[in-house]
Structure 1
Amino acid sequence: MGDRSEVTIIGAGIIGLATAAALLERGHAVTVIDRDEPGSGTSRGNAAGIAWTDVAPLASPGIWRKAPGWLLDPLGPLTIRPSYALSILPWMLRFVQASRPAAWRRSIGAIAALNAAALPAWERLWRESGTLNRVKREGCLDVFDKPAEIARAQAGWQLQRDHGIEVRELSGPELRDMEPDLGPTVAGGAFLPGWVQVDDPHGMCLDLAAHVRARGGTIERGEVAAITRCSQGVVLRMREGPVRRAPHVVLACGAWSRRLAAGIGEDVPLDTERGYNITVPDPGVSFRRFIMLAGYGFVLSPLAKGLRIGGAVEFGGLEAAPDWRRVDALVARAGKVVPKLDATTGERWMGFRPSLPDSLPVISPSRRVPGLIHAFGHAHHGLTQAAVTGDLVAALIAGEQPAIDLAPYAVDRF
């Protein structure tokens, strides 16, 4: 094994915390730096799924059949704010390239490889951190209310089966037998029994932060303004306070990673998919399982604190104020398949999914700064891929061969 040395992690979201836990388990001295409290950013409000059963990227040959209709609806599942259209254009052009069949197949292989290792990595981390009490193993339902959408979904279900994932197709009545609060319009779908979720993603972050501290790790408040290299490792110039140095640094601050990477000459096409949700403490309905409504672009996630209704993609950057009408639109769509739903009260939230055009994260040594490891851009799979990302980063720092080929996730692949 390589040296057991000091590692500084930029970012105390789920990726940074899981990476800290993996490094501490291997004997490293770990400091995590974030400008906010642990888990208070994008990791706070995600849908809580360990979606290791996903293998298809967002960029796909079929996306173009749906995208025009979505884009015409300003509150639909996929929206570009007019003020951000020019800014997102380079990302969209790369998204078009990633949607071509050959590129799409490469992305499928890379997502499948990462997600196949995701649940085993989490199983180890849950045991090590004492957080198994947060894990729910009720599976996931894919639900549709239009027969034509069921037919289109079958190719995706077969793709999952081709990767060893169990998918059971069900009729509308069979779905309602499993979840009686689904409405009569539900026409059919599928059950994925292997899907796993946690009861509260923010709570998971807080538990991991406590675990990191208990194992001797340090979590500090501070904002990194720039990264530079030096002969002894990596230099972090802080917005306030003294310069920091460490032999190893992990860049894991999600959607905010692009600026720091660009400062060292690694201009990664990272942008943000703004996601919205509402968590309803008393929704008037009860679900045991995670429910995916792909036809409407949102999910229903039963959490310890209530039912989370969330999803959609809005490209609008990091600065624009939330458009809370998008939450109202989510609730209206949910009412079509869950007619007894009462979402008149709840906690509204908007977060920034750090996304790359090919739906793959960057898990890669920097090509410009020795000792710097990139770990960002996980998009919809941040919670899913956090533990395996931590293991892969730990292998890189130790000088070991990672468990999977990291070439598809290289920082300079674009």
Structure 2
Amino acid sequence: MKQCDVLILGAGIVGVSTALQLQKRGLSVILGDRRSPGEETSYGNSGVIGGPSVYPVTFPRNARKLVEIALNRSTAARYNPAFLPYIAGWLVAHYRSSAPERLEYVAHAMHPLMSRALAEHESLLDSAGALGYLRRNGWISLYRHSPSYEAVKPALELGREMGRVFSVLDTADACRLEPALNPIFRHAVHSQDIASVSDPLGVTRAYADHFRSNGGTFVTGDARSLKRQKSGWQLDSGEGPVMGREVVVALGPWSSELLAQLGLHLPLAVQRGYHNHFATDSSADLKHPVLDADIGYVISPMEQGLRLTTGVEFDRRDARPTPVQLERLLPQAHRLLKLGPAVEKQPWLGARPCFPDTMPVVGPAPKLPGLWLTYGHGHMGLTLGPITGRLLAETMLGETPFTDPRPYQAERFLN
């Protein structure tokens, strides 16, 4: 039987980054997943690595937007009516967490992670020989209508106070930065302290390859086979049983199933999202990821083409794809940018694991000695994977962590 100091369940960007952080500190690590590294939630995102202060994705409070969502006509959010009874309690908690004073608390609580996220990525990218994926030219947020820009001003001001670096642009300035954009918007913000990567899957795979080249072991297996033993935690894998003295759950939207088996229930929900890649030519080339804020999508230059990512969809995690949002926003995206044909026949569908307060859970599992948690990163998994991996590694080893870990621990939902 293979044995290690730490068994990590989940080989997305969060799990792989955590494996590297523990390995750097001298621990033996086995990384397990049912698929190859990075092929689930970590594959489908905008590639953005956030800066010092980014407001979380919130429950809208604008009356017009609420009506659009209630009537299921919004491009930014959609729901399956039959699923509402199962998600209603979470939505109420999320709405309460979206109050202005609560958002300010979350922004400050996340600042120690956000302000160090890019540097931690750069360290791992450098050691993995993958700095070629990184772009440090920021991203651009577009506002087609003045009210939407006015609504975001308080968040921008708070961000400036917390160290964000950005420029407010008019239409002409934004089009000089991105000549392929059609001038159908009134305002723009260029966030210079935000980075991005050209292939999120490539980054995760590079981290996994670096982990293995340093002696780490990857196994395939079903996390639900995890059993507690006298000497640690055992997982049945395709290579036979493996044993870890301690175990880390980094299963993203699949974490709740395993933790429920162990008697731990935390308020995780899944926000589904879609993306599709589109061919491009010189007349529609982008240098930055672009947020079309009023419509609710991001379009990013990727190695596969221009990746258009949708807002959120509330439905069962494994329900059949219903890419209505993508179909609705495509005409608007074509108005903004000349897109070529779709690269894939079918859009990609993934699931973002989200807690109602928009912060991840990072730390020990209550009343389950030897079991650790790092999941629920929501829309910030790529950004936060390396830095939350560092925080968890420092906490597990009894080091003085770079920031107070208590705001991110599971106990906040159990009091």
TM-score scaled to structure 1, two decimals?
0.93
Identity level (%): 31
The separation in 1 between residues aligned to 2:306 and 2:278, in whole angstroms, is: 5
Pairing of 1:13-412 with structure 2 (within 5 A): 13-59=12-58, 62=61, 66-74=65-73, 76-236=75-235, 238=236, 244-282=242-280, 285-338=284-337, 340-346=338-344, 348-412=347-411
State the aligned residue count.
408
| Root mean square deviation of aligned Cα | 2.0
The separation in 2 between residues aligned to 1:309 and 1:63, in whole angstroms, is: 25
State the SS of the aligned residue for 1:258.
Answer: helix
State the SS of the aligned residue for 1:277.
Answer: strand
Give the C-alpha shift of residue 333 in structure 1: 2.2
Give the C-alpha shift of residue 242 in structure 1: 5.8
* Change in CA separation of 1:151 and 1:132 when aligned onto 2, cut-off 3 Å: same
The separation in 1 between residues aligned to 2:278 and 2:52, in whole angstroms, is: 26
For the 8 Å contact 1:277–1:311, the answer to whether it is kept is yes
Give the C-alpha shift of residue 345 in structure 1: 4.4
Give the C-alpha shift of residue 65 in structure 1: 6.0
State the SS of the aligned residue for 1:413.
Answer: helix
Give the C-alpha shift of residue 64 in structure 1: 6.3
Residue identity opposite 2:304 in structure 1: K
* Change in CA separation of 1:231 and 1:71 when aligned onto 2, cut-off 3 Å: same
Residue identity opposite 1:179 in structure 2: E
The separation in 1 between residues aligned to 2:240 and 2:339, in whole angstroms, is: 52
The separation in 2 between residues aligned to 1:96 and 1:388, in whole angstroms, is: 27
The separation in 1 between residues aligned to 2:341 and 2:403, in whole angstroms, is: 43
For the 8 Å contact 2:233–2:243, the answer to whether it is kept is yes
Give the C-alpha shift of residue 177 in structure 1: 0.9
State the SS of the aligned residue for 2:117.
Answer: helix
For the 8 Å contact 2:52–2:116, the answer to whether it is kept is no
The separation in 2 between residues aligned to 1:342 and 1:144, in whole angstroms, is: 23
**Deviating 4+ runs (over 6 angstroms):** none
Deviations 1:106-165 (A, max 9, x none): 212122222112112112111211111110111111111212222222222112111110
Give the C-alpha shift of residue 40 in structure 1: 0.7
State the SS of the aligned residue for 1:278.
Answer: strand
Give the C-alpha shift of residue 233 in structure 1: 2.8
Give the C-alpha shift of residue 214 in structure 1: 0.3
Residue identity opposite 1:171 in structure 2: D
The separation in 1 between residues aligned to 2:262 and 2:208, in whole angstroms, is: 29
The separation in 2 between residues aligned to 1:186 and 1:66, in whole angstroms, is: 19
Give the C-alpha shift of residue 343 in structure 1: 3.9
Relative to structure 2, which stretch is displaced further, 343-352 or 170-179? 343-352
The separation in 2 between residues aligned to 1:176 and 1:376, in whole angstroms, is: 38
State the SS of the aligned residue for 2:270.
Answer: strand
Give the C-alpha shift of residue 298 in structure 1: 0.6
Relative to structure 2, which stretch is displaced further, 364-373 or 97-106? 97-106
Give the C-alpha shift of residue 331 in structure 1: 1.6
TM-score scaled to structure 2, two decimals?
0.93
Give the C-alpha shift of residue 228 in structure 1: 4.7
Deviations 1:345-382 (A, max 9, x none): 44621110011111100101011211111000001000
Give the C-alpha shift of residue 60 in structure 1: 5.9
